[in-house]
Amino acid sequence: AVKLANRVLALTPSTTLAITAKAKELKDQGVDVIGLGAGEPDYNTPQHILDAATRSMNEGHTKYTPSAGLPALKKAIIDKFERDQGLSYKPNEIIVGNGAKHVLYTLFQVLLNEGDEVIIPTPYWVSYPEQVKLAGGVPVYVEGLESQSFKITPEQLDSVISDRTRAVIINSPSNPTGVIYTAEELQELGKLCLEKNILIVSDEIYEKLIYGEHKHVSIAQLSPELKEQTIVVNGVSKSHSMTGWRIGYAAGNKEIIEAMTNLASHSTSNPTTTAQYASIAAYNGPQEPVEEMRQAFEHRLEVIYNQLVSIPGFTCVKPQGAFYLYPNVKEAAEKTGYQDVDAFVEALLVEAKVAVIPGSGFGTPDNIRLSYATSLDLLEKAVARMKDFVETKL
Ligand code: PLP
């Protein structure tokens, strides 16, 4: 066998990959599978953004840019923070990277020494633990209990802090649960992080997808001290339906940003120039398309949530943001004769022809993740299939 580095051997293969590969195999055989695994909006990038990208290319903006991003894009991001959160950043406190995922990767690379711990609430976005491990760090999990809407408390956080703790990750709204922390909850968690001098990595990629009367609050906007203690990570992927453009950014302490910029200068040089011009238009141009997509997601959620929880053995904390539902289906799996939810998910795919993601990959094996970034028509059909499947097996 080829000899590979230990660091990649330690990576956990993506659980979502196995099910997605199997769904694709079935589709290729002509089976009518409905996929609810998507982690991206089902809309095209708004036209004015595409136009800005084309224009920039035609004007000859096709060369390297500064490693941390074009000054004009940094300015657009700074203006966005000011407008949305009342946060003021300087250009040397911002780095633009190739998607929020890449920015987080770079961040852990510059923050962690071998054995440093990063606290990750469960259920978590699959890449956090792997990125921490790739940087030599150790993921330390704290259970976001379903009975607490998957949100961790300061007491829980306190109980896992050690002298090796470097940072805690807050992802609000959350992938996979769609749950949002309130300002009060963030204030309490933040107070503890300040006391114990723990950095806060705030992943706010779903910021623009908020439903009902819920609000997005960045922990960084709660006080100047918390702003100093927090690295905010965000991007245009989910807000402007720009997943393929690969633009994300981080804002925070200038020494951390400078270290990230140095690292980026030797790894990526810069995020794609055309995508940076597109992102300037995304933030400086009209925001109506963002709101239109949000409304469509909200409508789908309202329709599909009620249908989903009418399935016997399904319970679901109602999402407040993002575009995922994260029902607990343990009882449904047990009552229909499956040994665990992973086996139930496999049967849903093969027999009900619906592809969902098992919660085991997110650190909570009793749940499944469904994305509603697909048409209402397909969503209703998929939920009806799942309901039929469960009811005939009971
Ligand atoms: N953070 C969370 C919680 C996500 O769900 C995603 C995408 O799925 C990302 C970050 C990365 O987004 P991108 O790299 O497209 O900016």
Q: Is the CB of 205 under 6 A from ligand 1?
A: yes
Are the CB atoms for 313 and 332 separated by under 8 Å? Answer: yes
CA 348, 350, 355: angle at the middle one, nearest 5? Answer: 55
Length of the chain: 394
51 belongs to a structural domain: no
327 C-alpha to center of ligand 1: Å?
A: 21
216 domain-assigned: yes
**40 CB-contact burial (10 Å; exposed 0-12 / middle 13-18 / buried 19+):** middle
Q: How far apart are CA 21 and CA 9, in angstroms?
A: 21
Distance in angstroms (rounded) separating the CA atoms of residues 368 and 157: 25
Domain assignment present for residue 58? The answer is no
Is the ipTM value over 0.85, yes or no?
yes
Phi-psi region of 271 (alpha: psi -120 to 50; beta: other; left: phi over 0): beta
Based on the domain organization, do 153 and 298 belong to the same domain? no
- The minimum-distance atom of ligand 1 relative to the CA of 322 is 5
Our answer on whether the CB atom of 203 is closer than 6 Å to any ligand 1 atom is yes
Where helices occur in 171-246 by DSSP H, the ranges are: 183-195, 224-229
**Is residue 191, in this structure, part of any structural domain at all?**
yes
In sequence order, the β-bridge partners of residue 230 are 200
pLDDT, tens digit, 9 for 90 and up, residues 283-297: 999 999 999 999 999
Q: Which domain holds residue 192?
A: 63-284
Number of domains in the chain: 2
For the chain, residues with pLDDT lower than 50 are none
| Residue 197 alpha carbon to ligand 1 centre in Å | 26
Q: How far is the CA of 101 from the centre of ligand 1 (A)?
A: 6
**Residue at 365 is within a domain:** yes
Residues 234 and 333 in one domain: no
Same domain, yes or no: 83 and 146: yes
Nearest protein Cα to ligand 1, atom 8: 39
pLDDT in tens, 60-119: 999 999 999 999 999 999 999 999 999 999 999 999 999 999 999 999 999 999 999 999
DSSP state string for 42-101: SSPPPHHHHHHHHHHHHTT--S---TT--HHHHHHHHHHHHHHH-----GGGEEEESSHH
On whether residue 146 sits in a domain, the answer given is yes
CB of 359 closer than 6 angstroms to any ligand 1 atom: no
325 shares its domain with 237:
no
- Do 264 and 298 lie in a common domain? no
User: DSSP characters for 306-325?
Assistant: HHHHTSTT-B-PPP-BTTEE
Coil vs helix vs strand at 143 = strand
The H-or-E segment that residue 108 falls in is helix 100-111
Whole-angstrom distance, CA of residue 65 vs CA of residue 275? 11
How open is the CA angle 194-120-321, to the nearest 5 degrees? Answer: 95
Report yes or no on 53 lying in a domain.
Answer: no
CATH of the domain at 309: 3.90.1150.10
291 Cβ contact partners less than 8 Å away, ≥ 6 residues apart: none
What's the CATH number where 113 sits?
3.40.640.10
- Are 257 and 386 found together in one domain? no
Q: Which of 269, 284, 299 is the last residue of a domain?
A: 284
Please enumerate in sequence order all residues whose Cβ is within 8 A of that of 243, keeping only pairs 6 or more positions apart, or say none: 39, 40, 41, 237
| Domain identity same for 273 and 307 | no
Q: Check whether residue 141 and residue 260 sit in a common domain.
A: yes
Ligand 1 pocket mutation pick from 207, 237, 245, 246 by most atoms within 8 angstroms of CB: 237
Please identify, among 284, 311, 329, the residue that sits at the C-terminal boundary of a domain: 284
Among 120, 205, 279, residue to substitute to test ligand 1 (most atoms within 8 Å of Cβ): 205
CA–centroid distance, residue 2 to ligand 1 (Å): 31
Residue 261 has, within 13 A of its CA and on its CB side, a CA count of 20
Q: How far apart are CA 307 and CA 354, in angstroms?
A: 15
Dmax (CA) of the chain: 64
Examine residue 370 and state whether it is found in any structural domain, yes or no: yes
Tell me if 280 sits within 8 A of 73, measured CB to CB. Answer: yes
- pLDDT for 342 equals 94
The residue among 284, 315, 337 that closes a domain is 284
Query: How, if at all, do strands 165-171 and 199-203 pair?
Result: parallel
Domain shared by 87 and 147, yes or no: yes
Residues 203 and 70 reside in one and the same domain:
yes
- Confidence (pTM): 0.97
Q: Are residues 144 and 217 in the same domain?
A: yes
Given the CA of residue 39, which atom of ligand 1 is nearest to it?
8
Going by C-alpha positions, the residue among 260, 270, 271 that lies closest to residue 105 is: 260
Does residue 32 sit in the same domain as residue 131? no
Ligand 1 binding pocket includes 125 (Cβ within 6 Å):
yes
- Distance from residue 100's CA to the centre of ligand 1 (Å): 6
| Strand blocks (E) in the chain | 34-35, 94-97, 117-122, 138-143, 165-171, 199-203, 230-235, 248-251, 324-325, 354-355, 357-358, 368-371
pLDDT of residue 14: 73
